[in-house]
A = this chain, B = another copy of it.
Amino acid sequence: MLCRMAEASGPDSSRRVTIHDVARSAGVSRQTVSRALNGKDEIERSTKQRVLDAARELGYRPSRFARGLVRQDTTTIGLVIPDLRNPFFTEVAASALESARARGWHVVVYDTADRPEEELGTLQVIGSQVDGVVGYFSCDEDELDRWTRGMPMVLIGREHRMARFSSIRIDGEAGVHAAVTHLVAKGHTMIGMLDHVNRAEPSLRRDWFTAAALAHGIDPGRVAGAAQSADGGGEGLRALLGAHPEVTAVFTFNDIVAVGALREARRLGRRVPAELAVIGFDGLQLGALVEPPLSSVALDTRLLGSLAVEQVGRLLTGADPLPPEALEVRAELRLAGSA
């Protein structure tokens, strides 16, 4: 009489084990089972143990949906990332997870595998599973709007037009200016750039570079494209030096590309920073692992992730959203061995 028959021996064994089954098996009511499982106190010790045993015996697991329906306390946000293996996004994701955990939120992560066409599908699926979304999107704003149906969204590193969106701006103007200033101070006058390739419009970082170069009376035209990978950085550097052999310093779209350029420079026999100075963008931890360590216009990825989470939180609780000027991450030059 200690326990009734266990396992799948009921009339239809495919049905889910509910709180009712446990109650019946333990000879008590639903509410008592609920009390036992949730550690409420209006219950006798022996009864509690009996219920717990019955639950274990039947393999009972409460339905998160039913529970979530009645107590509206769990919030879940979606994090959309183009490529988790890219160290930059890894850091942003880690920071976002950190901030979310501090608030007791759950984070569902989606990796769109760098395919913009995946974004819509993801959005559609996400829309019915989370309370808000944070992340990177490359598709059109109207498309975003169509698929998210009024869900709070925070876009990272991208401008927004519609009021219901929010976005974290990345301001690298001062940082890039400082980088060019530093290179000039070191005596460089022929400064090139490895820009993002495969994009319709020239990158913002390219604009910042151009402005900084012009401010120092430097020709900003020495630019080559590079695919977003270390190999891409290597090839980009070869192309740049092929077209502009006079270049003695390079600013790159990001650190991955910079690391590739660094590796290629070594292979070409050019000493860094003596014969070729390199400054990246992002300030990844990765930059400290290579030799010489990478100088970079560093972004505070921790701040980036936490700002995004903070803002989506305000949007979905209805609190005052952060003003645009607070939603800005300023990049600043961090010098190491490579420049």
On A, residues with C-beta under 8 Å from B are: 16, 55-56, 59-69, 72, 74, 76, 84-85, 87, 90-91, 93-94, 97-98, 101, 104, 106-111, 113, 125, 128-130, 149-151, 230, 259-260, 263, 266, 285-286, 288-291
Contact = CB atoms under 8 A, between A and B. Distances in A.
B111 A109 contact: no
30 contacts: A56-B150, A61-B149, A61-B150, A61-B151, A63-B69, A64-B65, A64-B130, A65-B69, A66-B69, A69-B69, A76-B108, A84-B90, A84-B94, A85-B90, A85-B91, A87-B87, A90-B90, A93-B109, A94-B111, A97-B109, A97-B111, A98-B113, A106-B125, A107-B109, A108-B109, A230-B288, A259-B289, A263-B289, A286-B286, A286-B289
How many copies make up the complex?
2
B74 A85 contact: no
A84 B97 contact: yes
Contacts of A260: 289
A268 B151 CA distance: 56
A90 to B, nearest CB: 5
Contacts of A230: 288-289
Contacts of A72: 16
A289 B291 contact: no
A264 to B, nearest CB: 10
Contact of A266 (B59, B87, B109, B291): B291
B93 A84 contact: yes
A259 B287 CA distance: 12
Contacts of A104: 125
Given A56-B149, A76-B108, A230-B289, A129 B84 contact: no
B128 A64 contact: yes
A150 B91 contact: no
